[in-house]
Structure 1
Amino acid sequence: MNPEQFRDILAQHGIDLSERQLQQFADYYQALVTTNKHVNLTAITEKPAVYLKHFYDSLTGALAYPQLQSQALTICDIGAGAGFPSLPLKIAFPQLKVTIVDSLQKRINFLDDLVSQLGLTDVYLVHDRAETFADKKSKNREAFDLVTARAVARMSVLSELCLPATKVGGVFLAYKGSAGEDELQTAEPAIHKLGGQVNQVAKLKLPVDDEPRQIIVVDKVVKTPLKYPRRPGLPAKKPLS
């Protein structure tokens, strides 16, 4: 997918990018591949693949959950790595207020430089573990309209990392490949324990290569019990069931 295809396919979905926004994506790509030479941010570096599998893929969340396109939501991106999906969403929909959490300082440093370079506002970067970011003592607990994660962990683990930060009445949005529904079958008991309820599984395909994607939309219906999330490392070692 080249930048022109990226623009045109998004326009077909009613998402019209300005020249400034297209330049921000171009600058994002250059910063990504330059920094990736000395900081491991991504295995995908070819321009067509970055535009398809990082930029466009990040924006599929706004197709599954259209409120992202127009509402001034507070978003938390858990384990964002090189900024996906939250920074492409922020570029396309500037009204969003974004908090990015990552456990590696080198990635946070990259994102800090990138946010400045792209001229983005209302983006906050936090160097922390997901398990402690929204624990029972944290001001971040149940503070966000929408919490999202992409390529971080299985749904049973991801739910424990994301739902504690999601406010009651808010949404947890999980980006998944073709295995999303299979993961969901084993994760539903954990989702319920954590105060969530599955709203929908949006099935999409990436343009160009038709690679399947699933966006799992989980509503936060009641408060998460204070004992969750458990201490760092435990959610992955012993997933809730």
Structure 2
Amino acid sequence: MKKFENWEIFEDIATIKITKTIKEQLEIYFEFLNSENEKYNLTTITNLDEVYRKHFFDSLTFCSKLELNNQKLCDLGTGAGFPGVVIKIFFPDVEVHLVESNNKKISFLNQLISKLNLKEIYTHSQRAEIFAISKKEQFDIVISRAVSELNILLELGAQLLKINGYFVCLKGPKIDWELQNLNNQNYKLGLELRDRQNLDDKIIGVRVNLFYQKLRKTPEIYPRQYAQIKKKPLGK
């Protein structure tokens, strides 16, 4: 079986040392993702190099901007484990919570975690807005990749963050349109945009990572019921 060789792309993200364990775990991840993909409808990307670049590498691009060390992290709408499981593989000291409302994907994740022998990583089969109410201010970092538009996503997850914690939004080329729709209403959630990371990789394309810091408590009215959020998102 062909194996991934271009490990230098990961080392370029930050000071990440690629260990034998990391390589072995990513190989298991790739093989299990492909073998179970049709059953769980996990991804349209199945080519070896593309999975490593467009899923594994893309899950870590934010790491050069934010230190990961012994924090408690929540991945909202994790799907097949991107970025949460990838973060756990590279940063085993981080406690990771994976939130996903699709029970089939939760089943896949539970099997994957067992195969990878990962510790302190937990799955939650819940909608994000319900999970946020039950776990207020319990996380140092909330992260989400390709889930909802910004004016919906921030409301779903802000309540989870501790004061001074970071909400990391891994976004694509339409981010300026999303920011315009948000219309600076993140302040209602106690969030302030601290940094923006622009990337243009020849393989994964345009990526924009936003880093919101929670400076004040999120009002108790947030998150609203999902139907209300969809009907009238922040900024509209």
Which TM-score applies when normalising by structure 1?
Answer: 0.92
Q: Report the 3-state secondary structure (helix = DSSP H, G, I; strand = E; otherwise coil) of the residue aligned with 1:125.
A: strand
What is the CA deviation profile of residues 142-178 of structure 1, one whole-angstrom value per residue up to 9, with x for unaligned ones? 1100001101011001101111111111000000012
8 Å CA contact 2:170, 2:209 repeated in 1: yes
How far apart are 1:210 and its partner, in Å? Answer: 6.1
Q: Report the 3-state secondary structure (helix = DSSP H, G, I; strand = E; otherwise coil) of the residue aligned with 1:233.
A: helix
Pair 1:181 & 2:182 matched:
no
> In 1, Cα distance between the equivalents of 2:230 and 2:48?
33
8 Å CA contact 1:159, 1:190 repeated in 2: no
8 Å CA contact 2:75, 2:96 repeated in 1: yes
> In 1, Cα distance between the equivalents of 2:227 and 2:43?
23
1:48 maps to what in 2?
A: 49
Match of 2:218 among 219, 224, 230: 224
Q: CA RMSD in A?
A: 1.4
How far apart are 1:183 and its partner, in Å? Answer: 1.4
Q: In structure 2, give the amino acid aligned to 1:124.
A: Y
Q: In structure 1, give the amino acid aligned to 2:192.
A: Q
Q: Report the 3-state secondary structure (helix = DSSP H, G, I; strand = E; otherwise coil) of the residue aligned with 1:17.
A: coil
1:108 maps to what in 2?
A: 106
Match of 1:211 among 205, 210, 213: 205
Identity %: 37
8 Å CA contact 1:150, 1:174 repeated in 2: yes
Shift in alpha-carbon separation, 1:93–1:182, aligned structure 2, 3 A? same
2:35 maps to what in 1?
A: 34
Q: In structure 2, give the amino acid aligned to 1:80.
A: T
1:233 maps to what in 2?
A: 227
8 Å CA contact 2:54, 2:203 repeated in 1: no
Q: Report the 3-state secondary structure (helix = DSSP H, G, I; strand = E; otherwise coil) of the residue aligned with 1:168.
A: strand
How far apart are 1:4 and its partner, in Å? Answer: 1.4
Q: Kindly tell me the number of residue pairs found equivalent between the two proteins.
A: 232
1:124 maps to what in 2?
A: 122
Q: In structure 2, give the amino acid aligned to 1:51.
A: Y
> In 2, Cα distance between the equivalents of 1:51 and 1:164?
32
> In 2, Cα distance between the equivalents of 1:161 and 1:37?
29
8 Å CA contact 2:9, 2:57 repeated in 1: no
> In 1, Cα distance between the equivalents of 2:226 and 2:200?
34
> In 2, Cα distance between the equivalents of 1:14 and 1:181?
30
Pair 1:86 & 2:84 matched:
yes
> In 2, Cα distance between the equivalents of 1:165 and 1:132?
11
4+ residue runs of structure 1 moved beyond 2 angstroms? 11-14
Q: Report the 3-state secondary structure (helix = DSSP H, G, I; strand = E; otherwise coil) of the residue aligned with 1:53.
A: helix
How far apart are 1:184 and its partner, in Å? Answer: 1.8
> In 2, Cα distance between the equivalents of 1:174 and 1:64?
12
List runs of 5+ in structure 1 lacking aligned partners.
none
> In 2, Cα distance between the equivalents of 1:229 and 1:100?
18
Shift in alpha-carbon separation, 1:130–1:201, aligned structure 2, 3 A? same
2:11 maps to what in 1?
A: 11
Q: In structure 1, give the amino acid aligned to 2:223.
A: P
8 Å CA contact 1:64, 1:215 repeated in 2: no
Q: Report the 3-state secondary structure (helix = DSSP H, G, I; strand = E; otherwise coil) of the residue aligned with 2:41.
A: coil
Shift in alpha-carbon separation, 1:210–1:124, aligned structure 2, 3 A? closer
Q: In structure 2, give the amino acid aligned to 1:48.
A: D
Which TM-score applies when normalising by structure 2?
Answer: 0.94
